[in-house]
Amino acid sequence: MLGERESRTTRLEEAIKAYREALQENTRSRVPHDWSMTQDHLGKALLSLGERESGTARLEEAVAAYREVSKERTRARVPLEWADTQVKLGHALATLGTRETGTAHLQEAVAAFRDALQELTRERVPLKWVMTQVKLGHALAMLGSRESGAARLEEAVAAYGEALEGTTREHVPLEWAISTGHQGVALRLLADMRDDAEMAKLAVQQIDAAFTTSRDGGDAPSAAYFEEQLANARALAEMLAKR
């Protein structure tokens, strides 16, 4: 927790060492529940560290840790805990995928999120369902930006649309802005691919609404991201309108 709040990585490195020390005694054969819990904590610390570093080693280790957790927290035994682990695994895989030029890890991330959604249903855990749909949308959009076809981007738009079914601007404005804005970004990519002026206009409207909501809600990082994306969307819309 100290490492999460500090810019240095020393505390996270110490946490990783402590968890690995614990795993020498908290073995799966001796205390399977404690073993899986420690692996889960190790994965979180490795992911946090990996997100701050430029390489991929820590992220790969985080993926390995979450895969270990899945061996004990199986879907048959503890379906919701298994699904939570799939979300964490998907996040680690997606982060790893952004550091690489290929698509293998992004595809694995998509599969992990979709697996999780089989248990994290809207009826059972609505907030987790929304969060997972957003993460799925992110992975699909990144994958779609690297592929020549439109299928993945269409799936990303659909995933964000699902998330928007469970959020409203009035009740959870910042969460709504994330889904709306990122759907708009995916729509912009699709509009560019298809030379679709109307879709480009819709992208501008959505990204603009997300920017305004994020800015007014105090989410500076999201506001900065959507402001940049808004400029790109407007430029595309203007270009397509002239054709």
The reported pLDDT for the residue numbered 94 is: 98
Whole-structure pTM value: 0.94
Phi and psi dihedrals of 16, rounded to 5? -60, -45
> Quick one: pLDDT band at residue 214, thresholds 50, 70, 90?
very high
pLDDT at 200: 98
| Mean pLDDT confidence for 192-211 | 97
User: How far apart, in whole angstroms, are the C-alpha atoms of residue 176 and residue 109?
Assistant: 23
pLDDT at 243: 84
Among 69, 93, 65, 94, residue whose Cα is nearest residue 82: 69
In this predicted structure, the answer to whether residue 180 has a pLDDT above a threshold of 90 is yes
**What average pLDDT score do residues 178-197 get?**
97
User: pLDDT of 64-93, one tens digit each?
Assistant: 999 999 999 999 999 999 999 999 999 999
Q: How far apart are CA 80 and CA 118, in angstroms?
A: 10
128-160 pLDDT per residue, tens: 999 999 999 999 999 999 998 999 999 999 999
pLDDT of residue 14: 98
pLDDT of residue 27: 97
